[in-house]
Amino acid sequence: MKTILFLIFFVVLTTSVLSQEHDCDYFKTGQFRISDKEIGYEGMIERDDNFQTEYTKGTGFISKYKVNWIDDCNYELLLVESNNPASKGSEDTSYLVSILEIKGLDVIIEIAIPGNDNLYQFTMTKIE
């Protein structure tokens, strides 16, 4: 009987821990994979309290951004420098990013680009 009760307790505890969602604060720093299958984009991100560096897979492009958290789930990225020719002249451009959904180590983010009415969604996965 003790064994059965222990197993029930263990299963309930394990299920509870595994089903917990992280909050946005968990994604403020660390290393991440980022992708958008529709446009074929893949990259890696390293973020600390102040800066985010993004490495675009297969291109050698590296972009560095200043990070300014607006609230728990919204932040601004200010382009500091990039070797991507498409970013030339975009220094000091800020991008607004919202964390829309969290599923374990994955987040769906939405990026608003100044002067562009489109919103872009990416999947970002925290690497532990």
Domains and CATH numbers, the chain: 22-127 (2.40.128.20)
**pLDDT value at residue 5:** 39
Q: Is the dihedral of CA 19, 24, 29, 32 positive or negative?
A: positive
Residues (pLDDT < 50) of the chain are 1-2, 4-7, 9-20
Instruction: Give the CA dihedral 105, 26, 96, 122, nearest 10 degrees.
Output: 0
Instruction: List Cβ neighbours of 29 (8 Å cut-off, separation of 6 or more).
Output: 47, 48, 49
**pLDDT value at residue 6:** 42
Residues in a beta bridge with 32: 45, 126
Token representation of residue 22: 């992280």
